[in-house]
Amino acid sequence: MEGGNGEELAVGCVLSLRTTLGDEIEGQIIAYDRPSNILVIHILLALVNPMSLLFLFDVSLSSILFFDRSATQEGSSKAGPRRNIRLLKANYIQDFTYLRKAGDPIDPNKCYIDLAGLQAREEASMRQAEIEAERIGVGVTSEAQSIFDALSKTLPVHWDKTVIVVMNEVRVSSPYLPENVSGGTPAANDRVKKVLDFERKRLQARVPG
């Protein structure tokens, strides 16, 4: 898609387009910046190419298509609940279809930016992400991670490189078998062994092979 699209890329237009990645998107244009060639589109309907998501989801290789539908009304300039937004470089648009014209999706009169709020949100997100990052072991197998997650449901656990540390006392090192449980008081040790055993059995039962 090259330039000179004039009317078609006006704000508010609803397009159905296909990207070079294979995604099919239907959405409304919020903004289009020529110099940078970035199209801001408010997604109404999206068919994501399963091939591009193969690595993201733990699904089999069947072609599963899913829809990504936003909650707002189509073509309405009324500010509703949140939207799904995509910033797409226009040079990756393979082809598109102009569906219809609608009003401006965002009301210019109501566009305010609360910088403090944004910063607060960013901080909150960062905190949350840090907490979640703590839970992920770096350089551990997914099996180890599953064990960690299972243990964390009932016991306080954290990672120490590739060693799971339970209750700050008991250490479970690779390969995370009951024999690898060490440290802590005998009672705590036994308890961790038992829980570990239990969780392993459960995981095996759930994911055979």
Residues 10-69 that bind another protein (CB under 8 A): 10-12, 19, 21, 30-36, 38, 40, 52-56, 58, 61
Which of positions 105-134 make contact with another protein (CB under 8 A)?
Answer: 105-126, 129-130, 133
Q: Which residues of 56-88 are buried (b: 16+ CB within 10 A; e: fewer)?
A: eeeeeeeeeeeeeebebebbeeeeeeebeebeb
Determine if 170 is a binding residue for another protein (CB under 8 A): no
Distance, in Å, from the CA atom of 32 to the CA atom of 88, rounded to the nearest integer, reads 9
Residue 47 beta carbon to another protein: minimum distance, rounded to whole angstroms: 14
The least CB distance from residue 168 to another protein, in Å, is 19
Contacts with 103 (C-beta within 8 Å, 6 or more apart), sequence order: 12, 75, 76, 77
Select from 24, 74, 149, 190 the one that contacts another protein (CB under 8 A).
Answer: 190
Q: Looking at 1, 74, 75, 84, which residue binds another protein (CB under 8 A)?
A: 84
Among 92, 102, 162, 203, binds another protein (CB under 8 A): 92
Select from 3-11, 160-168, 174-182, 200-208 the region that touches another protein (CB under 8 A): 3-11
**Distance of closest approach, residue 199 Cβ to another protein, in angstroms:** 12
Is the distance from CB of 87 to CB of 13 less than 8 angstroms?
no
Cβ–Cβ < 8 Å for 182, 150 = no
What type of residue sits at position 73? Q
Token pair listed for 15: 């397009």
Say whether residue 136 binds another protein (CB under 8 A).
yes
